Chain A
Amino acid sequence: MATIVRKELADYFTSVRVFILMLIVFLTSGGALYAVQQNIRGQVSESGFVFLRLFTTSGEAMPSLVTFIVLLIPIIGIALGFDAINSERQSGTLSRVLAQPIFRDNVINGKFLAGIITLSVMVVATMMVVAGYGLVMIGVPPTAEEIVRLSIYLVFTIIYGAFWLGLAVLFSVLFRKIATSLLTPVAIWLFFGIFILIAAPAIANALVPVANATSPEVIIRNAELQQMIMRFSPNTLFSEATTVLLLPQVRSLGIVTMSQVQFMIPNPISLGQSILLIWPQLTSLIGLSAICFAASYILFMRQEIRAT
């Protein structure tokens, strides 16, 4: 398998595709950093965790870096995986490679692994650049806790990317046509990223009408239903995890009533508590990635490899 991973990595790192992705990522980080530079002064006094503010500060027109990452990671995952298997099938290299003395799963595992490595390299490189530049800009070194929080965030980002990579690979196994295997995950990305923002309130309002409702229970139920629907989206899961990890003053992901707010201490929560809070998000994301990968694996193992 090492041979295949090595070849795939060589392919990725010499490809125009990865170069362009890198370019997009660095340009966005640059833009986000600019926004940070303009706005961070007004926000540092609010709480500690100045370093984390590098990633979460937004400008008037410019969303924060983490918002960009929620949108960009799926694109990277899809771009790395959408033609993994079917391009080899179409070019006739797949049947030639599978006629060599290697196990069939080595091919798909190798591709998946190479995709994750590439993704990780891109994410880590971006974080490093942002952190390094940010350090120079704000002159405040990160605390130990901030470093831990950022590392966990990094792991989350890679798992989130692995989900989209797995989804794209799944469609590249499923569909013979490259255009189809590209458009399907993009459609899913649009659905989870944008459409669900419109769909969730619509469905919730249909099931639990709040138009003339007066009782607070109904309003809460409606809001909870909305949130539940939203959580079907890996984007939501990842955004929530990001919020908890990088904005420690956020104490709850659920609905908080005014009476509860009175009793909330306006202090950031501890690292342990943050991890506890996002544990379900972590396991769901890992589960989703595993499902995508397992499905592509099983399909690929059972497929006939015909060079036509």
Chain B
Amino acid sequence: MGREIVVETCNLTKRYDSATVVDSLNLSIEEGEVFGLLGPNGAGKTTTILMLLGLTEPVAGTVRVCGLDPTRQPLEVKRQVGYMPEKVGFYESLTARENLDFIAELNAIGYVEARRRIDEVLEGVGIAQVADVKVGNFSRGMKQRLGIADVLVKKPRLAIFDEPTAGLDPEGINQILDLMAKLPGMGTTVVMSSHRLYEVQRVCSSIGILSKGKLVVQGSIDELGRQALAGGRYRIEIETRRPTPALVDTIKAIPDVKEVKTSGDLLMVITDSDLRAEISKVVVQSDFLLIQMKIQEFNLDDIYMKYFHEG
């Protein structure tokens, strides 16, 4: 493929006092990707993003964004990179359009061009009808959308969104995610941080999971999924009535069953292969009711949980 690397970090480290918040991070993001940065609260996602933009300085390691060093050449980097902070804010006494005008002016975009782009992006994020309303009157979701418009006005090569869907209604989340999925087609590589897995799964072509400042895994979702499923892990959920320890033991005795967990009438069986037939047979033969049986493949959720416990 030979696509260009837009973001590359090498042993990137950030410490506050003595707490290491980002620990020897090695990340690489290719042009045209939608990259999801995942991790629980306090994992260091925002700190990593700030270092990519040169808004805070790393204590060790190097960052290259579009081939440039953000601490040494902040202006060149910021010309090509758009950033939406996690708590995005606007000048409340100005209208949406005036806010974007200001940003366009700071980016030295000419008046006519700015006007055209602003109309276009406001349309794109679905708030064109309130373009001339003061931002002070906007709802949280509308501000969030304006934040995305704000990033897109400068047509960045790389757009970084810190939790872009926080505070949006489900409809809004879908619209925003659709919009993000379209960005690579317009020449913008996307990095978004999130802790909502399903939305990352929906739009991101590749993810990195951070935990306690360390990158525990990076790759495309397909790859990670295959990795996780390569072990042949399945999760089978059985609903029965009043299971006994004896039943649990019988199921455990089936070859390839890794683990059985009980919670009330539910049994959770982790196996290396699809053992639904065997398990149902055992349950019924042991004189228990088999009310329902579900098989669940490992999804991002499980990948995520798995790496967290390890990380």
Contacts and interface: CB of A to CB of B under 8 A. Distances in A.
A96 B105 contact: no
Nearest to A304: B56
A3 interface: yes
A307 B75 contact: no
Among A91, A95, A96, A97, find the residue whose CB has the most chain B CB atoms closer than 10 A: A96
Contact of A93 (B76, B83, B86, B91): B91
Nearest to A4: B106
Given A99-B82, A101-B79, A103-B75, A307 B88 contact: yes
Contact of B78 (A90, A93, A99, A308): A99
Interface in A60-109: 90-93, 95-103
Contacts of A99: 53, 55, 78, 81-83, 85
Contacts of B79: 101
Interface size class of B (residues with CB under 8 A): 20 to 34
A93 to B, nearest CB: 5
B101 to A, nearest CB: 10
A143 B84 CA distance: 60
Contact of A92 (B81, B89, B107): B89
B107 A96 contact: no
Given A14-B93, A99-B53, A308 B86 contact: yes
B92 interface: yes
A24 interface: no
Interface in B98-128: 102-103, 105-108
Contact of B89 (A100, A103, A306, A307): A307
Interface string B136-154: 0000000000010010001
B102 A3 contact: yes
B26 interface: no
A24 B197 CA distance: 57
A11 to B, nearest CB: 7
A308 B87 contact: yes
B107 A307 contact: no
B191 to A, nearest CB: 13
Contacts of B53: 99
B71 interface: no
Contacts of A3: 102, 105-106
Contacts of B75: 101-103
A253 interface: no
Contact of B106 (A11, A90, A101, A307): A101
Among A92, A95, A97, A98, find the residue whose CB has the most chain B CB atoms closer than 10 A: A95
Contacts of B90: 91-93, 96
Interface in B44-59: 46, 50, 53, 55-56
A306 B90 CA distance: 15
B50 A306 contact: yes
Contacts of B106: 3-4, 97, 100-102
Nearest to B108: A101
B105 A95 contact: no
A95 B85 contact: yes
A172 to B, nearest CB: 16
Nearest to A90: B89
Among B79, B83, B150, B154, find the residue whose CB has the most chain A CB atoms closer than 10 A: B83
Nearest to A89: B89
Interface string A289-308: 00000000000000011111
Given A91-B89, A307-B86, A308-B87, A7 B55 contact: no
B81 to A, nearest CB: 7
A100 B102 CA distance: 10
Nearest to A88: B89
Contact of A305 (B55, B84, B105): B55
Nearest to A2: B105
A11 B87 contact: no
B103 A93 contact: no
A11 B93 contact: yes
Contacts of B150: 96
A11 B55 CA distance: 26
Contacts of B74: 103
A98 to B, nearest CB: 6
Contacts of A7: 102
Contact of A304 (B55, B81, B108, B154): B55
A307 B85 contact: yes
Nearest to B77: A101
18 contacts: A7-B102, A91-B90, A92-B87, A92-B89, A95-B55, A96-B84, A97-B106, A99-B55, A99-B78, A99-B82, A100-B78, A101-B76, A101-B107, A304-B50, A306-B46, A306-B55, A307-B87, A307-B89
Given A97-B103, A99-B85, A103-B74, 10 more contacts: A3-B102, A11-B91, A96-B83, A96-B88, A100-B106, A101-B75, A102-B75, A102-B106, A304-B50, A306-B50
Nearest 5 Cβ contacts at the A-B interface: A92-B89, A307-B85, A99-B83, A91-B89, A100-B106
